[in-house]
Structure 1
């Protein structure tokens, strides 16, 4: 069984905003994941050619079940509003996280996390070249209780804030929620925390080590696969270096 997580930067490279659907499809296929967590996922966004990236990824990996959870409606670099559970079927202007599985999903679970309060960051709009002040986005965790070859597991995808302190709170609250779901449980995603901090806050074990960001010259690991439960023996698998995103994927085999 292969688990993988990847912050896909909505399918673009750091230098080129164009999204190539075929390139994205090949990269997902190359991971050959049985359960795949994705972050920074677009659905119906003009910046990514109105592609449903979750649907493309599901087809590329042969997933039998998938769930996209929007956290924002609108472009995060421009005006947006927080997404709620009423937006789970949104087909336009949606941005968030996804979880995909080749194995049967018995139940889906969604947990929403508040953004950092009173936070503003200056960002240059790539089209107008003007500085805009962005507030922190709301975050979410999507989990699936899955019938795997190793029994029933609950596996989750998360993308936490980069605001220090708030990301640790989000991870702590997320792990508390995850522990209420059927075990064993695995959390995957871009946690925006270094390994030691992620391990301590989650009170769990990291299943993969190695720098993941920035992808062209990785210096720090922000993307993790972790669990606080007893699991079968695992090993970190070598992940291909994809031709897009500013993060590297993380792959673990059981």
Structure 2
């Protein structure tokens, strides 16, 4: 089976405009993966045409099953217009009542069980330049770290865990250790997929895992560092035909790999 991960930056294209639902689905269709972990996914957000982006991605991949997990409810921005969301899963069906933002895991293959784990948030703040609503001038804002979550899909022969860790390294390491304890209780081999915000071989070493793709992934226009990872946790899996792909969406390159039993 082929597994991938992609940070879609709420559907923003490299040129700047946000893709609509159809364009977003088309943007990932050529990845031709069986399971895709996606980060920075909007639902009902004004900035992204109020699209249900997880559903649009599933349509583009020809997948019938998916789950989204919101990390915040409301509109992420430099202003306090969002609140932390409780770790919960939403699948095919009605869109959420209000705007939300988080991660998703999309599968073409039958999923035997879905589960979700809240990873908490750090206290760090990220500097971000944006317009002042009072003056229209650009200024710097300090953005609080949102809560993080992980979503697991247990398939017939392995489990895929999707996540997006904190931008603050000390927090992302703590979250990774919490993931390690969660994964230790899962049956069979596990693939951890996502934007871990930790460079190079660091996540694999901390997890005692095997990196299935070793290539820089950020920024998409000229990758210099690997922040996105596909890791085999435990024995029993090998990877082949690893690839990085510049998508018409997002600011990271997508990673894909074919995994099979030893």
The two structures share one fold, judged by TM-score above 0.5: yes
SS state at 2:251 partner: coil
Deviation at 1:181, TM superposition (A): 1.7
Q: 1:237 to 1:23 in 2, by over 3 A?
A: farther
Note the C-alpha offset of 1:167. 0.7
Matching of residue 106 in structure 1 with residue 108 in structure 2: no
Q: Which residue of 1 aligns with 2:167?
A: 162
Q: Identify if the C-alpha distance between structure 1 residues 115 and 17 changes in structure 2 by more than 3 Å, giving closer, same or farther.
A: farther
Offset of 1:228 from its aligned partner? Answer: 2.2
| Separation (CA, whole Å) in 2 of partners of 1:116 and 1:229 | 28
2: CA distance, partners of 1:93 / 1:233: 39
Distance in 1 (CA, whole Å) between partners of 2:194 and 2:62 is 21
**1:92 — aligned with what?**
98
Contact kept, 8 Å, 2:213 with 2:243, in 1: the verdict is: no
Unmatched tracts of structure 2, length 5 or more = none
What is the match of residue 206 of structure 1?
Answer: 211
Q: CA deviation at 1:244?
A: 2.1
SS in 1 for 2:252: coil
Partners of 2:142 and 2:71 in 1: how far apart? Answer: 19
Aligned to 2:222: 217
Kindly indicate whether the alpha-carbon contact (under 8 Å) linking 1:207 and 1:236 is maintained by their aligned counterparts in 2: no
**Which structure 1 segments of 5+ residues have no match?**
none
Matched, 1:135 2:141: no
Greater displacement, 125-134 / 53-62: 125-134
Give the TM-score, by structure 1 length. Answer: 0.92
Decide whether the 8 Å contact of 1:179 with 1:185 is kept in 2. Answer: no
Q: How far, CA to CA, are the matches of 1:86 and 1:156 in structure 2? A: 15
- Report the Cα offset of residue 132 of structure 1: 2.7
| Cα pair distance change 1:185/1:34, threshold 3 Å | same
Query: What is the rounded CA distance, in whole Å, between the counterparts of 1:253 and 1:70 in structure 2?
Result: 28
Answer whether contact 1:72 1:80 (CA < 8 A) is retained: yes
Instruction: After TM superposition, give the deviation of residue 156 of structure 1 in Å.
Output: 0.8
Going from structure 1 to structure 2, the CA distance change for 1:224 and 1:200 (only over 3 Å counts) comes to same
Aligned residue for 2:29, secondary structure, equals helix
CA drift of 1:234 comes to 1.6
Question: Which residue does the alignment assign to 1:49?
Answer: 49
Deviation larger for 130-139 or 63-72: 130-139
Report which stretch shifted further, 212-221 or 232-241: 232-241
Structure-2 separation of matches of 1:91 and 1:31: 31
**8 Å CA contact 1:211, 1:222 repeated in 2:** yes
Match of 2:84 among 82, 89, 109: 82
Deviation at 1:184, TM superposition (A): 1.1
Contact in 2 for aligned 1:43/1:91 (Cα 8 Å): no
